[in-house]
Amino acid sequence: MCITQRIILIGLLLLAGGRSLAQPAEVKLAYEYYRQGEVEKARTIYDKLARNSKNIGYIHEVYVNLLVEMQDYKAAEKYLDRVIKWYPEAVSYRIDKGWLLLRAGKETAARLQFNAVIDQVSHDSYQSRRAAQHFLRRQLPEYAIQTLLTARKRSGNAHMFAIDLANIYRMQNDKGHMVQEYLNFAVQNPRNLQYVKNTFQVLLTEPEDLDNLAYILYELVQQQPNNEVYGEMLIWVSMQQHNFYEAFVQARAIDKRQQLGGNRVLNVGVIALNNKDYENAIRIFDYLVDTYPDSNTGIQAHLYSIRAREELVKNSYPVAPEEVRKLIKEYDRFIHDYGQNQATWQAALNKARLYAFYLQYNDSAIHILNKLIAIRQLPATLRGEAKLTLADIYLLADQPWESALLYAQVDKEMKESTLGYEAKLRNARLAYYRGDFKLAEEYLDILKLATSREIANDALQLSIFIKTNSALDSSDAALKKYAHIELLLRQNRMADAEAAIDTMLQVYEGHLLTDDLLYLKADIRKKGGDFATAASLYQKIVDDYGAGLLGDKAYYQLGLLYENQLNDRSRAMAVYSDFLHRYRGSIYAADVRKRYRVLRGDAHFVPDKEVN
């Protein structure tokens, strides 16, 4: 025994006088007997110790449990009555008596005992919380809830004990009441809002959970439109469901009331854009342009609006050159209207990309980028992006050495930043395209540790792809041909790429790369507007290689094709429904589920009401 333990035990002995005062050795011996199942020997010692009030703190819990296990309810009740007489203010002993009565089958008497305790403590929040905790220790959560709700009602504070009740309901898996109490907790103090969001992120994992929360919040917002907590929570849950229109409606209402200048609404629009809900993103940005035309928010929204329209054009197959030219004119007007600043420099960069990647006007793009890079005030990040774009264009023009030099330059200038890692990843891909897999792997090994999760994942996937497809072929012949096809695609040489794919499918029939080749061909056909052929290729991947790495991705693309390009809602729904059975754990499952429910016409996902 250490010195500290000796001091503590001596202190306990000095504090407790009397002939039957508990000795540490006696308490320990009794407990050892109890633990080993020698209950009679344990009881003999406990019976003696229980005669002195000063021993109760040492023996109470084990002694009561022992008497109940021996079903000696009469002795247990007699003991508890004596303890309650000694310590009338100790709520836990009174609760224990009710628990004992329950164990003895005296439910009515137990209920009366509990109700008396609850009434006794209901005027005191501290005692009520302690009583609730002891009810929980005795596995009586309903009485713990009753204790807290009674004290809440008596106090007149509708949000008292919100977090305590939320945690109890959470243990009971009563999500309805749990959600309400967490909302009460947020209303009690708006600083709790982020905690509640984080908790919901973990606990509300099923779509129905978020639906129920959304319905509750919608009703609360209607009843209390000025309560910002409910509005903020409705924005949050709408974003979780990718229901960006509803999030916009709520953000707009809060923006108007609090006069926030549109920043909250802009954030919703950016998230909608990043999640490829381009129509709603445009709607949000255009609202901001109209509402805050001369503000920084309005200028940013204008640029985002053009970018969202650009994404719509780029994802409408085949991409129409006349629509690309319209976008370039929009960027020109934006640059003319707003002069020289970071927003217009970004617009110039976007315009250069359209020239090179969609109109094949490489010289025009290079001219714009060189002018941009030469601007002394250009932020380092924007200069890095411009250099990366210039490097990509040199790759289009079949000048890989120029590309490699620029990638390395950005890597060096932007070290340990996301852009620096992106430059290294592009150099790794360039080495891969050229068939230098060893060099590619050297880059990828570094990138697997990148701080950007997306870049680290991309690096890991490419590394695994190289290792998997070169393991059975020491010459890497097939993989080199496949990598060259990817380079052709990067250079927009679609016809050459498809011809090379068809050759590989014949020469390497049954090869491990077959599903990858079919996927590339489907993508070429989709971008060329041959949606029927693309659909058949995606279906072939699912049918013949559905258990492979591309199975869920191909099936997801098939559903999108039916929904967006072939306008066959019933086929899209059938694909999405089957997808959720086949690929329940897929990264695409959440979006598939949302799309299925929109197509099915679930009311919550159809934005037909606005809250001002």
* 20-24, 256-260, 390-394, 549-553: least confidently modelled range: 20-24
**Is there a contact between 39 and 70 (Cβ–Cβ < 8 Å)?**
yes
Quick one: pLDDT at residue 12? 37
Residue 474 lies in a domain: no
Domain termination site, one of 241, 273, 294: 241
Residue 149 falls inside a structural domain: no
The CATH number covering residue 234 comes to: 1.25.40
Residue with more model confidence, 13 or 57: 57
pLDDT over 90 at 287, yes or no: yes
Model pLDDT for residues 293-342, shown as the tens digit of each residue = 989 999 999 999 999 999 999 999 899 999 999 999 999 999 999 999 99
Kindly report the average pLDDT of the chain as a whole number: 90
Confirm whether 40 is domain-assigned: no
Query: Is residue 506 in some structural domain?
Result: no
The CA–CA distances, whole Å, from 466 to 210, 330, 473, 494, 498 equal: 41, 42, 11, 23, 21
- Residue 607's domain spans which residues? 518-612
Total tally of structural domains belonging to the chain: 2
Residue 432 pLDDT greater than 60, yes or no: yes
Asked if residue 524 is part of any domain, the answer here is yes
**Cα(59)–Cα(49) distance, integer angstroms:** 8
Q: What is the pLDDT of residues 359-412, one digit of tens each?
A: 999 999 999 999 999 999 999 999 999 999 999 999 999 999 999 999 999 999
Last residue of a domain, one of 198, 217, 241: 241
pLDDT for the residue 20: 45
Which amino acid, residue 228?
E
For residue 140, is it within any domain?
no
Question: Around Cβ 531, how many Cβ atoms within 10 Å?
Answer: 17
Under the banding of pLDDT at 50, 70 and 90, the label for residue 474 is low
Burial of 19 from C-beta contacts in 10 A (0-12 / 13-18 / 19+): exposed
Diameter of the chain measured on Cα atoms: 103
User: Residue holding tokens 């001369």?
Assistant: 294
Final residue before a domain boundary, out of 190, 208, 241: 241
pLDDT of residue 612: 36
Banded pLDDT at 23 (limits 50, 70, 90): low
Residue 525 lies in a domain: yes
pLDDT for 488-533, tens place per residue? 999 999 999 999 999 999 999 989 999 999 999 999 999 999 999 9
Q: How confident is the model at residue 26 (pLDDT cuts 50, 70, 90)?
A: confident
Return the number of other C-beta atoms located less than 10 Å from residue 429's C-beta.
22
Question: Residue 13 pLDDT > 80, yes or no?
Answer: no
Each residue's pLDDT tens digit, 77-116: 999 999 999 998 899 999 999 999 999 999 999 999 999 9
The letter for the amino acid at 52 is N
Residue 523: both structure tokens together? 């993508």
Q: Which DSSP string corresponds to 521-582?
A: HHHHHHHTT-HHHHHHHHHHHHHHHTTSTTHHHHHHHHHHIIIIIS--HHHHHHHHHHHHHH
Counting residues of the chain whose pLDDT is more than 90, the rounded percentage is: 78
Over the stretch 34-72, which tens digit does the pLDDT of each residue have? 888 898 999 998 898 888 888 888 889 899 999 999 999
Residue 8's pLDDT is what? Answer: 35
Burial of 551-570, coded b for 16+ CB within 10 Å and e otherwise, reads bbbbbbbbbbbbbebbeeee
pLDDT in tens, 555-571: 999 999 999 999 999 99
| 68 in any annotated domain | no
The answer, yes or no, to whether the previous bond of 318 is cis (omega within 30 of 0) is yes
User: What pLDDT was estimated at residue 301?
Assistant: 97
Give the span between the Cα atoms of 507 and 523, in whole angstroms. Answer: 21
Residue 522 belongs to a domain with what CATH number? Answer: 1.25.40.10
Q: What's the whole-model pTM score?
A: 0.79
At 294 the pLDDT is 86
pLDDT for 18 beyond 80: no
